[in-house]
């Protein structure tokens, strides 16, 4: 499924990223927050976040998206294109959005 900015515009991507990052302020560092989030999202303990883990984790954070929107967000985090989010990809995406805002 291709990204379609009319269906899920960049402003919506930024809003979801802001919601994901919102809990970071209660941690000593962004890295500590990213580690805690990975542990929470990685339900099966394989050290990567799958589509389903990402979907259910976002729902637990009260972020409700369509499957298309979740695929879009997964691609934002999934830098190497393997369909999963590693710790490095998760942290790097959060760090990039902190410095770009």
pLDDT of residue 43: 93
More confident residue, 53 or 11: 53
Assign a CATH topology to domain 27-100.
Recoverin; domain 1 (1.10.238)
User: Taking the model in full, what pTM does it have?
Assistant: 0.79
pLDDT by residue (tens digit) across 46-61? 999 999 999 999 899 8
**Which three-class secondary structure string do you get for 56-79?**
HHHHHCCCCCCHHHHHHHHHHHCC
Cβ neighbour number for residue 21 with a 10 Å cutoff? 19
pLDDT at position 48: 95
How do the domains of the chain map onto residue ranges? 27-100
What is the residue-averaged pLDDT of the chain?
Answer: 85
């Amino acid at each position: 499924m291709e990204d379609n900015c009319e269906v899920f515009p960049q402003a919506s991507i930024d809003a979801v990223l802001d919601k994901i990052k919102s809990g970071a302020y209660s941690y000593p560092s962004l890295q500590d927050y990213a580690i805690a989030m990975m542990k929470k999202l990685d339900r099966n303990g394989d050290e990567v976040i799958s589509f389903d883990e990402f979907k259910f984790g976002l729902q637990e954070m009260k972020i409700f998206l369509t499957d298309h929107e979740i695929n879009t967000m997964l691609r934002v985090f999934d830098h190497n294109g393997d369909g999963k989010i590693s710790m490095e990809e998760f942290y790097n995406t959060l760090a990039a959005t902190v410095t770009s805002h």
